[in-house]
């Protein structure tokens, strides 16, 4: 299998069980939301397992972009995060010229398991890592900011 031009597949978790769980999470968050939430940097925790070179580069670039962002703060303790981004990569053919990435955006839950918000499967050739990072950053930012906007709107009702 040769280097991929890059494929992004996004899976929204919206089945009935998750919808009920999501509604409960939203209710709890609305009760604890602060009015200044949108103006604050959003704390994000990363967990990464990237044993292949291309995947490690992808994970490092995503994390660094968040670290230097004005909207997000990368935290070192999971319990300090609002969102958790889990990244798992693998080289599908062990040739070192591409990676397959599974990336999950979860809402942090200090009472137990995190609530899965979105899951992406991404393939990227070594020459496409930066463009895939750009695409993923835009998608994550759109999802997080949309969620926070909805949360603020629900809190103001």
Query: Is residue 2 situated within a structural domain?
Result: no
Q: Tokens for 101? A: 């990435």
Residue 66, phi then psi, degrees to nearest 5: -70, -40
Query: Is residue 36 situated within a structural domain?
Result: no
The structural domain count of the chain equals 1
What is the distance in angstroms between the CA of the first residue and the CA of the last residue of the chain? Answer: 53
Confidence of residue 39 (pLDDT cuts 50, 70, 90): low
Report the CATH number that the domain containing residue 146 is assigned in CATH: 3.40.50
pLDDT value of position 72: 95
Q: Tokens for 97? A: 């010229």
Which tens digits make up the pLDDT trace of 122-134?
999 999 999 999 9
Which tens digits make up the pLDDT trace of 49-77?
999 999 999 999 999 999 999 999 999 99
Find the domain containing 47 and state its range.
7-31+41-155
């Amino acid at each position: 299998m040769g280097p991929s031009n890059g494929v992004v597949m996004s899976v929204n978790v919206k089945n009935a069980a998750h919808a009920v769980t999501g509604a409960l999470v939203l209710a709890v968050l609305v009760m604890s939301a602060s009015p200044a939430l949108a103006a604050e940097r959003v704390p994000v925790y990363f967990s990464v397992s990237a044993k292949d070179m291309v995947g490690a580069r992808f994970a490092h670039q995503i994390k660094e972009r968040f670290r230097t962002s004005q909207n997000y703060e990368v935290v070192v303790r999971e319990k300090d995060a609002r969102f958790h981004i889990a990244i798992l990569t693998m080289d599908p053919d062990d040739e070192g010229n591409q990676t397959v990435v599974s990336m999950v955006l979860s809402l942090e839950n200090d009472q137990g398991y995190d609530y899965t918000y979105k899951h992406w499967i991404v393939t990227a050739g070594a020459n496409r890592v930066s463009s895939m990072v750009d695409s993923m950053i835009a998608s994550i930012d759109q999802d997080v900011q949309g969620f926070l906007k909805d949360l603020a709107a629900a809190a103001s009702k």
